[in-house]
Structure 1
């Protein structure tokens, strides 16, 4: 099983859309990330009626990574709804807020491989999704 299959399988376990309360919905988008040391961390989205309390699956996975290991550098990322990513379906994951958070978490994340087509193992990088990131000039 290659790394993308491992990540897909780990994230897929988190996919079970459900109402947490009448105001909060969760597990309808899932993600797995591979940290710099090879560990895999997962996350799922959680959305509330107020909007400001929403957390995307990618950010939850990154926060799980940091909380559980202290790591900030992400080698690979996969995120999806009910099935693995397919390039021709206009996949927009990760969203703009997640792209920004991942760059702020570690500027090396610009090289994070993001799976856009599971069957063909086609990837892009965070840098291609957020070119000319404003924060690079603030790096030491």
Structure 2
């Protein structure tokens, strides 16, 4: 399975913000590794009308397109003043990850170079029927 630093680097490699008017695309990137060891990446698309999506959604869409559904580890990053910064998944992403496959509750969510938790820990009230 891809290590924490490798996954952070994979996400950072596709982090190329692009401005269109007052919107910025690709200022957050995500990388995930599946239970089969495949890495998928994606970037956010921020739109003014709310039809955009998070970087995690883009990486997960690539994974599902390839007919994989179980996430072993996932990370999202952006650029801060001092370089690449890991950011936690928003609530919408947390629920999206969960609904792709129930086993994703055990996925490792990278919260920093030395900080990992399970999706289950980020969704403490996740025990409801799908």
TM-score normalised to structure 2 length? 0.88
Q: CA RMSD in A?
A: 1.6
Give the equivalent residue in structure 1 for 2:96: 101
For 1:41-56, what aligned pairs fall within 5 Å after superposition? 41-51=40-50, 53-56=51-54
Q: Does 1:124 align with 2:117?
A: yes
Partner of 2:4: 4
Structure 1 segments, 4+ long, off by >3 Å, are: none
Match in the other structure for 2:71: 74
Q: How far, CA to CA, are the matches of 1:38 and 1:81 in structure 2?
A: 24
The CA distance in 1 between the partners of 2:23 and 2:69, in whole Å, is 28
CA deviations over 1:4-33 (Å, ceiling 9, x no partner): 2221221111111112x3364211011100
Structure 2: which 5+ residue stretches go unaligned? none
Question: How many residues align structurally?
Answer: 125
Unaligned runs of 5+ in 1: 86-90
Q: Which residue of 1 aligns with 2:25?
A: 26
TM-score computed with the length of structure 1 as normaliser: 0.82
Q: CA deviation at 1:124?
A: 0.7
| CA deviation string 1:68-96 (max 9, x = no partner) | x20111000111111132xxxxx5x2001
